Amino acid sequence: MKATEPMLGQVCPAHSLHVPAMILRHHIGPLKGTDRGLLVRVGEGTRKISCELRKKGIETDIFASPSLREWLQFPADTAVDTETLSQAVETVLDGLAVFQDGLLLLRRDYQDVSSWSTAPMIMGIGASYYEIDHFALVVADRLEHADYLWRLAEADARLVEGPGVWPDDFCEHLNASGSYLSMVFGTAKLPNGGTVVLLAPNAQGDQLDRWRRSRQQGALHHVALSVTDIEVAAAEFNAEGWKPMSKQPVSDGALTQWFLKNSADQIIELIHRSDQKSTATFSCANITELRSAELRQVPAKSDQ
């Protein structure tokens, strides 16, 4: 057995009361005691969760072994303030977004632009937790879009895509896809490592405008979750009721993406980056394939 793989034993007494209760509350399954601490399977978001906890003064161990990459360990030899630990774990695992009454919403604490730079870029789906690569929010119009970008700049966010009208200013060959599908678009990189995509209707009554009007304040257009193996992740999501919106993922060699939808018409994007330094949320090659799949599902123009 490798040195990075702890021996399993009884649940560590130092953590036997408070951590398991929090784990159960968040529907996390496997929980094991080891001679080095409490080992918990949290899913793909392990590294991000560990990073977020460290910001709050809680040290955890992560593992290099592929068999343990989804496991987080609370060390047994570290003094723990149970109240601090409880608050930190709850805040981090609650994450940025939540499903509520069939809607994917920003949590109440994170509905203002000023809070996004400190929000935990974590989201739980079923019994697993994922790092949020980016989230997409729809605002009312161009004026509000510009105001949001200005406020993000004030919060030390960095503009990495746009602003402009998509696809006209980004992928010219997609213009024929229909003006009702276009949108005002801009992407900002947040100081906490997350990314926000701001969208606004390009014209009153277009597809995005109708989408926004049918949903309440704080509703998210979609959330992109970072995964290691996109096909394995898609199979797990499929078992939870999420259906792929295209027959297979799309990839330009650097960015691999797959959009899935559930019965409540919520959208999750699975994303894998070959280049971890990349900040792109789309590529014209990928979006051509994704848009083609979407157009096959759009009603006739007479219905638009």
d(CA 162, CA 144): 15
C-alpha atoms less than 13 angstroms from C-alpha of 90 in its C-beta half-sphere: 10
Task: Tell me what pLDDT residue 295 has.
Answer: 54
Confidence (pTM): 0.84
The 10s digit of each residue's pLDDT in 72-96 is: 888 876 666 667 777 888 889 889 9
User: What's the one-letter identity of residue 197?
Assistant: V
Read off the pLDDT band of 30 (50, 70, 90): low
d(CA 268, CA 69): 22
d(CA 53, CA 50): 5
Contact assessment for residue 40 and residue 20, using Cβ atoms and an 8 Å cutoff: no
The 10s digit of each residue's pLDDT in 179-202 is: 567 899 999 999 988 999 999 999
Q: What percent of the chain has pLDDT over 90?
A: 34
Contact assessment for residue 228 and residue 272, using Cβ atoms and an 8 Å cutoff: yes
Task: Tell me what pLDDT residue 182 has.
Answer: 85
What is the mean pLDDT of the segment spanning 224-234?
Answer: 92
* Secondary structure percentages of the chain, helix, strand, coil, to 5: 35, 30, 40
Per-residue b/e over 79-106, b at no fewer than 16 CB within 10 Å?
Answer: ebeeeebeebbebbbbbbbbeeeeebbb
- Architecture category of domain 8-93 in CATH: Alpha-Beta Complex (3.90)
Does the fold of domain 97-298 match that of domain 8-93?
Answer: no
Instruction: Name the residue among 216, 224, 228, 218 with its Cα closest to residue 272.
Output: 228
Domain range list for the chain: 8-93, 97-298
Q: What is the CA radius of gyration of the chain?
A: 21
Fold of 97-298: 2,3-Dihydroxybiphenyl 1,2-Dioxygenase; domain 1 (3.10.180)
